Amino acid sequence: MTETLTLRKTALNAVHRAAKAKMVDFGGWDMPVEYSGLIAEHMAVRTGVGVFDVSHMGDIQLRGPRSLAAVQQLCMNDASKLAVGQAHYSAMLYPNGTFVDDVVVHKLSDNDYLIVINAGTREKDVQWVRSQIGHMPGVHVNDFSDYYTQLAIQGPRAAETLQKLTSTDLSGIKNYWFTWGQVCGLYNVMIARTGYTGEDGFEIYVPSDTSTSARVWHEVMAAGAEFGIVPCGLGARNTLRLEAGMALYGHEISDTINVLEAGLGRYAKLDKPSFVGREALLGIQAAGGPKRKLIGLEMIDRGIARDGYPVAALDGTRIGEVTSGSPAPFLKKNIAMAYVPVEHAVVDTELAVEIRGQLVKARVTALPFYKKPKKSAQV
């Protein structure tokens, strides 16, 4: 008899279904992949504003007098440089320098840190954190993943949308900083200027009960109506982050890919005395660096490079594999990311992607493919 797996649901599941979202199994979660269509949702975020339910993400709090020491040992970036109210991109690594997960670390206070982790790795990440620093005196580990509904309001009109719902001056929040304020009549809501789309935007954390979550969702939608706000699913989230050259766990980063190969060495602060994976990264550097590298590919000939397709030299020799690939709705090109040997990773090198047995030409391009226009900060 086959056991039926029950999908987990966010507090907004009924809202998504009422909006006729197309739902899919995403890492054991019943999540919307699209509402009005991937291209429309993608373009709304690039040109106006969109809202995503990202409540499936995980939240681990490290609290206590040795919380900084715990974060420093767990994560590769240097949390000692964070001010209260500041966040940064980081990762938890295995001893060989590959990824447990990439994370965003928030400094809530001098003895209080929040680590936001990925949905598909939640249980594994929590177990890893407990196994690495759970024994440390002076630090308490709490899994608050199910306590919050997390909404990502993204796009050039995101600030104008959210500003209608809060008295907090959003123009005072810089990129990768956060504050606590009143939002939709709720007190002590965390408001972070973060996101995963390559656009300006905010992520807000509200109580995860269904009625509060639904009310906030609908108020955000009403506030953004004049800017053409649309609800967005995982499909647009993926194409937006791909255009912005952002890594996705299980694709550009995994337990078989190290930090230096992934081009994320700038976040690994090797001058820190110690963190899990540091010695391995130093060893790779000492041996001359990684042998392969993550590259961007722009298709020259007609064809879409999909995840998992082989990448070859022009003579047909297979040299790598596409990690993420798709049409780019805003750029109007077919793009991909892939790992190839470093000698093939030079920008403007012509390679090929094998699509249904045919070699289709592509050009190595710098990452990211898309950068938002210079002009944000103001509301």
Q: Give the pair of three-digit tokens for residue 142.
A: 């709490």
Looking at residue 52, its pLDDT comes to 98
**Residue 166 token pair:** 């809060």
DSSP state of 83: P
Select the CATH number that applies to the domain covering 13-54+147-243 from these four: 3.30.1360.120, 3.50.50.60, 3.40.50.150, 2.60.130.10.
Answer: 3.30.1360.120
Strands 230-231 and 292-299: unpaired
* Confidence (pLDDT) at 215: 98
For domain 58-143, the CATH architecture is: 2-Layer Sandwich (3.30)
Spacing of C-alpha 61 from chain mean position: 19
Q: Which residues of the chain are modeled with pLDDT < 70?
A: 1-4, 375-379
Nearest to 34 by CA among 227, 225, 224, 230: 230
Determine the pLDDT at residue 379. Answer: 43
- Which CATH architecture is the domain 291-365 placed in? Beta Barrel (2.40)
Q: What angle do CA 55, 59, 63 make, to 5 degrees?
A: 155
The answer for residues whose C-beta is within 8 angstroms of residue 170's C-beta and 6 or more apart is: 159, 162, 163, 191, 193, 202, 379
Residues 6 or more apart whose Cβ sits within 8 Å of residue 156: 46, 47, 48, 49, 199, 200, 372, 373
Report the pLDDT value the prediction gives residue 378, as an integer from 0 to 100.
44
**Res 174: pLDDT:** 98
Quick one: which H or E segment has residue 71? helix 67-74
- What local confidence, expressed as pLDDT, does residue 376 receive? 47
Residue ranges of the domains in the chain? 13-54+147-243, 58-143, 291-365
